[in-house]
Structure 1
Amino acid sequence: MSLPTDKRRILIIDDSEAIHTDFRRILNPEQRRGRDDLDLLEEALFGPTPSRANTAAEPEFEVDSAFQGQEGVAKVREALATGRPYTLVFLDYRMPPGWNGAETLRRLREFAPTLNVVLCSAYSDYSWTEIFQEFGEHQTLRELRKPFNGQEVRQLALSLSAPKETASKG
């Protein structure tokens, strides 16, 4: 059993509560928002679901939420200050009425330049070329189009939140 400190910390910055719910369901499928009576009855009758048994070897995610860019930046700063940094941020491009994704990313890069960020949107406010010209570091920056595929989200989370290993380049 993993201890909470073994969990990979991920922050979702998006103005839509439904998006936060989707990310939580994708990243922690066994942890529903609340287990209702039907869930408890099903487990009592049939035992733990196979998905729980199959994901035991996979890392667990601790998913936090911020609904505006300013709140997200504050959470990343706090996480760094307390020694519990996020390994990955999923960041929406559009979050009215506050900062958009580009402004939020600018602020994050000021104090967390190596933080992995996945920019998410159904809109093309900026071209990917414009994003790279301004932010560079394409190894720490990815794009995810909405509506997103759950497998793609999970794969991005697994790969981008993996502990960094020192590998020799040959």
Structure 2
Amino acid sequence: MSNPTDKRRILVIDDSEAIHTDFRRILNPEQRRGRDDLDLLEEALFGPAPTRSHDVEPEFQVDSAFQGQEGLSKVREALTEGRPYALVFLDYRMPPGWNGAETLRRLRAVAPTLNVVLCSAYSDYSWTEIFQEFGEHQTLRELRKPFNGQEVRQLALTLSAPKETASRSG
């Protein structure tokens, strides 16, 4: 049985409520789908489906921030509590507040190794410009909107995985 503290913590920073809903549906699919009659009949006939620990995908705790300033505050709070985020999905454009680049600058100042996926339908910045400022680093990725649910899920699984060689000091 999973403990809420075992969930991989993900923060979505985007000004669109619909985007937050999409991320929750993609990253927590069991929440979007109830058990239907066929599921119940199958369980009644064959018993509960066996689970093997290596087949069980991790669970995600998806938190929301609707502006960069709010996102930075949540990242700071998570660090203070000793429960840092494993990953941030960050929108490029969030009027009227900070844009994605400004938010990323501020996030890097408080959490330099935090995995960030920059998301946008617009190309306000080229990857060359992003890399010039932030460096070509494994902790920074790009995701174009409209995004593919499988790509989002794979990024979340890969980038939020515990780092086996990372030290636990901090």
TM-score interval, smaller chain: 0.7 to 0.9
- Indicate the percent of aligned positions where both proteins have the same amino acid: 84
Give the alignment's TM-score, normalised by structure 1: 0.86
Structure 2 vs 1, CA of residues 79 and 137 (structure 1 numbering), >3 Å: closer, same or farther? farther
**What are the Cα deviations for residues 59-116 of structure 1, in whole angstroms up to 9, with x where unaligned?**
0000000000000000000000001100000000000010000000000011100000
Match of 1:85 in 2: 84
Provide the aligned length of Structure 1 versus Structure 2: 161
Structure 2 vs 1, CA of residues 27 and 41 (structure 1 numbering), >3 Å: closer, same or farther? closer
Match of 2:24 in 1: 24
Match of 1:64 in 2: 63
Match of 2:102 in 1: 103
Letter in 2 for 1:121: S
Letter in 1 for 2:114: L
Match of 1:6 in 2: 6
| CA distance in 2: counterparts of 1:71 and 1:150, whole angstroms | 25
| CA distance in 1: counterparts of 2:82 and 2:100, whole angstroms | 25
Pairwise CA distance, 1:129: 0.6
**Structure 2 regions of 5+ residues with no counterpart?**
none
SS in 2 for 1:138: coil
Pairwise CA distance, 1:44: 5.0
SS in 2 for 1:117: strand
